[in-house]
Structure formats: C-alpha cells, structure tokens
C-alpha cells in the first residue's frame, strides 16, 4: 500500500514539478505569471496525440515539433499580450488580464478543433505503461523513465541558471535598469524565457499524455497543481519546485487511498496555506533562489 501511494505520488508529482518549473522559467526575468501556461501544456499534449496516434510520426520528431510550435506560439503571446503591457507599466499587473485572455482563446480554439473526448496516447518505445513487479513494487517502465527524466530536467534547468545566459536572466530579475546599464537586453531575455518556458510546457504535456491521456481539460488540472507547487517551492526556485511537486503528488495519492479523490483540491489548498503560513517565501525563499 505504501509503495503504491509513493509510486503514484512520484508520478503525478513529476508532472506538477515540471509545470512549476515552466512557470518559474517565465517568472524569473519578467515577474510575470503566464496564466496560459496550463493551456500550453494542454497544447503539447494534444499535439503529441495528433502526431503520434493519427499521423504516426516517430516520437522524437513529434516531441521536437510540438516544442518548437508551442515555443513560437509563446513568443507571439509575449509580443502581443505581455511586452506591450510591461513597456507601459513595468510594475503593473495588466498581464494578468492579457495572459488570461490568451488562455481563453487557446482553450476555445482547441476545444472546437479536438472536442472534449480524451485521447489515449501510448508510451514512447522502448517504454511501456504495463506494470512491472519489482520486489513487491508495482511500477511501469514509463513511470520510472518519467521520474528520472524529471530529476534530470530540474537539475539541468538549475545548471542553466549558472551559465552566462542564466546569470543574465537573474540580473534582469534583480534589476532590469541595472542589467540594461551592464549591456544586457531585458526584452531579449524576456523573449527567450517565454520561448523556453513555452517549449518546456509542451514537453510537460507530451510527457503527461501517456499517464493522464490527452484532453482539452488537462491544462486546467495541471495549472492549479503546478501553480501550487511553484508557490510552495518558492517562486523562481527549480529545486523548490521539485520538492513541492513530489510533496503535492504524494499527499494527493494518500488522500485518494485514505479519504476520497474528491478531496484532492482541498488537501492541496490546505498544504499550500500550511507551508506559506510558516514560510511565506516557500520552501526556498526568493533570496535563496537568486543566489548564484
């Protein structure tokens, strides 16, 4: 029972963590929460379903295609819905309305094209969703791959922020005007962060499809859980998002077994409130997350 809860929690928590990391990638240099992020994840999921199940593309070609397509779409969103708002009111919150508008547009268009029926997406070869019994632990090869890949992606993004580009992004996050005086272009950093965050969201949707199936409702589900993981982990912290994602996933799995699946959101909100009351900055505060 314990290991079943743990496996289920780590699987779901991996997806929540990845959504939270995609939030943080955009938030770091812009201080903007992209409320269309869940729909970008959904686009990655639906795109992978189309390319893999209907057009029979190789999995790696389908992955590259959805990441590029969603990354370009996110660049268009930044150009049309975020950059104009930030250029007029750099400390304003008008982006809340504009990114919500983008989310509604994407949701409506995709709903008209694909409908509401979920699409079952097979795990990419050589992995499978068939359960293996490893010393009494029931887990599929795809779940193992998803958990390991999540760890690699989180530490890869964390390493990226120690590179020259990452330090430039952190400098823009700290003070856009001072970064500009040092020769860093905040607008360019913001554009690349949006493109990277969008591609990362598409990757998350691709990885979620074999577990949750591709559905137009997937974005709303993962948006709430990913936002909660970002808040608990500490805004801007990739390692905090990892810990928070797994915390939420295990808590959700335990709730399903010991209480009822209907209490999922309640348990998550209680966990968010409990952590933020003790540590308002999250498990890793923003000051710690910016240390280079």
Q: Each residue of 221-274: pLDDT tens digit?
A: 899 899 999 999 988 889 999 999 999 999 999 988 887 777 778 888 899 999
The Cα–Cα gap between 19 and 12 comes to: 11
Tokens (6 digits) for 187: 């607008």
**DSSP helix/strand/coil, 132:** strand
Lowest average pLDDT, out of 73-87, 184-198, 256-270, goes to: 256-270
> How far does Cα 94 stand from its chain's mean position?
22
Residues sharing a CB contact under 8 Å with residue 32, sequence separation 6 or more, in sequence order: 26, 82, 86, 95, 99
Query: How is 157-171 classified by DSSP, letter by letter?
Result: HHHHTTSHHHHHHHH
Q: Is the pLDDT of residue 117 over 70?
A: yes
Torsion angle defined by CA atoms of residues 269, 271, 272 and 274, in that order, rounded to the nearest 10 degrees: 120
**What pLDDT does residue 90 have?**
58
pLDDT at position 85? 82
Burial-class residue 93 by CB neighbours within 10 Å (0-12, 13-18, 19+).
exposed
- Enumerate the β-bridge partners of residue 133: 138
Domain ranges of the chain: 2-289
Q: How many CB atoms lie within 10 A of CB 238?
A: 25
Return contacts of 48-55, CB within 8 angstroms, 24+ apart: 48/121, 48/205, 48/206, 48/209, 48/214, 49/119, 49/121, 49/209, 49/214, 52/121, 52/122, 52/124, 53/119, 53/120, 53/121, 53/122
> For residues 86 and 92, what is the distance between their CA atoms, to the nearest angstrom?
7
pLDDT band at 281 (very low <50, low <70, confident <90, very high): confident
Q: What's the maximum distance between 2 C-alpha atoms anywhere in the chain?
A: 60
Contact by Cβ (8 Å): 31, 85: no
Name, in order, each residue with C-beta under 8 angstroms of 179's C-beta and a sequence gap of 6 or more.
Answer: 168, 171, 172, 186, 189
CB distance 75 to 191 below 8 Å:
yes
Confidence tier at 114 by pLDDT (50, 70, 90): confident
Q: Identify the CATH class of 2-289.
A: mainly alpha
User: Is residue 49 over pLDDT 70?
Assistant: yes
Please check the confidence at residue 89 and state whether its pLDDT lies above 70.
Answer: no
| pLDDT of 292 above 50 | no
Alpha-carbon 222 to chain mean position: 8
From its phi and psi, is residue 119 left (phi > 0), alpha (psi between -120 and 50) or beta? beta
Judged against a pLDDT cut of 70, whether residue 287 lies above it is answered with: no
Q: What is the pLDDT of residue 201?
A: 96
């Amino acid at each position: 029972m314990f290991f079943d809860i743990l496996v289920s929690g780590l699987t779901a928590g991996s997806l929540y963590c990845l959504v939270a990391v995609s939030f943080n990638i955009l938030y770091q240099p812009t201080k903007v929460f992209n409320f269309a992020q869940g729909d970008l994840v959904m686009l990655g999921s639906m795109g992978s379903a189309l390319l893999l199940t209907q057009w029979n593309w190789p999995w790696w070609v389908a992955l590259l295609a959805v990441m590029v397509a969603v990354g370009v779409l996110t660049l268009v969103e930044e150009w049309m819905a975020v950059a104009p708002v930030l250029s007029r009111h750099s400390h304003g919150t008008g982006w809340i309305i504009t990114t919500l508008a983008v989310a509604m547009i994407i949701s409506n268009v995709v709903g008209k094209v694909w409908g509401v029926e979920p699409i079952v997406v097979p795990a990419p070869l050589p992995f499978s969703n068939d359960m293996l019994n490893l010393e009494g632990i029931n887990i599929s090869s795809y779940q193992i791959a998803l958990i390991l890949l999540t760890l690699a992606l989180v530490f890869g993004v964390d390493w990226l922020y120690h590179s020259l580009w990452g330090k430039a992004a952190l400098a823009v996050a700290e003070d856009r005007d001072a970064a500009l005086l040092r020769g860093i272009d905040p607008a360019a950093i913001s554009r690349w962060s949006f493109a990277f965050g969008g591609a990362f969201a598409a990757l998350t949707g691709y990885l979620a499809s074999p577990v949750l199936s591709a559905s137009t409702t997937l974005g709303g589900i993962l948006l709430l859980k990913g936002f909660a993981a970002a808040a608990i982990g500490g805004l801007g912290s990739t390692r905090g998002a990892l810990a928070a994602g797994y915390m939420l996933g295990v808590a959700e799995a335990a709730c399903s077994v010991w209480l009822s699946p209907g209490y999922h959101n309640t348990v998550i909100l209680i966990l968010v409130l409990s952590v933020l009351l003790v540590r308002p900055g999250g498990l890793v505060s923003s000051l710690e997350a910016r240390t280079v």
